[in-house]
Structure 1
Amino acid sequence: MSNYSIKAISNASNDAIIQLKELNISFGITEKTSETLPNPAELFLGSFAACILKNVERFSGLMQFGYKKAELLVNAVRLENPPRMDELTYELTIYTQDEKLNSTLLKKNIEKFGTIYNTVKQTCKISGNIIVHKNV
């Protein structure tokens, strides 16, 4: 079992920060920064994306494949009543020339062993695919 802890601070009519280890991440909670700072929903999607990318790195070692870069696009559908994320879709692009990359097995491992992935799938539909770019 692992335990996690963060601290978040907001000041009235201003923005907020999340304190994570040695990093402060600013996020918007007011209208004046809605176009410049991430909102809570975007931070949520960022956490989902970070989980997938962490597992690409993790499984590159376990599955013994090399890659130059991984890019992830995540989209979400938010319902209004009650407000919640209902559907997430992702497209993971991996840039590699390594023939050992089994993208089907990688996808299965990401979906089975991702902590945030498994937490999110309890409450909303997730679909995604992996694209392998060999021209690196």
Structure 2
Amino acid sequence: MTDVSKPRREPPVSPHLLTGGLISPPLWRWHLTMLTSILHRATGVALYAGGLMVAAWAMALAQGPERYGQVKALLGSWPGKVVIFGLTLSCFFHLANGVRHLVWDTGRGLDVKSANASAVAALAFAVAATLAVWWIAGLTGAL
């Protein structure tokens, strides 16, 4: 039986719902480690899509020269190259950020200064490695 003499209390409201509107400032401010966390998830999804692309490429290879030529033409077009460039960048960032997480699992690098430095390192590695791979691909005629 409920006590009707006590007023009904409303459930607690998340602070996200109380702030960030037109009147009050947002509760969270963006920072580098937040960005890299979101990018890690996004690049994981991109790599999944890239895996599906590799599967489609392999199936086209098994279906014969005509079908393989169609897929090769699609991947060799400018939009295809942009997608593959993005997948290369995603792969290297996801790799670097995964290593960063492995280091964190040992209890190291968790302070703000180290976390920010490792975020910059992961981003820099991803960009440098992607550009290096595409530069080598250009030199060897793979593009």
TM-score, normalised on structure 2? 0.31
Which structure's CA Rg is the greater one? 2
The structure with the greater share of residues assigned to helix is 2
TM-score, normalised on structure 1? 0.33
Report 1 or 2 for greater relative contact order, CA contacts < 8 Å, sequence distance ≥ 6. Answer: 2
The structure with the greater share of residues assigned to strand is 1
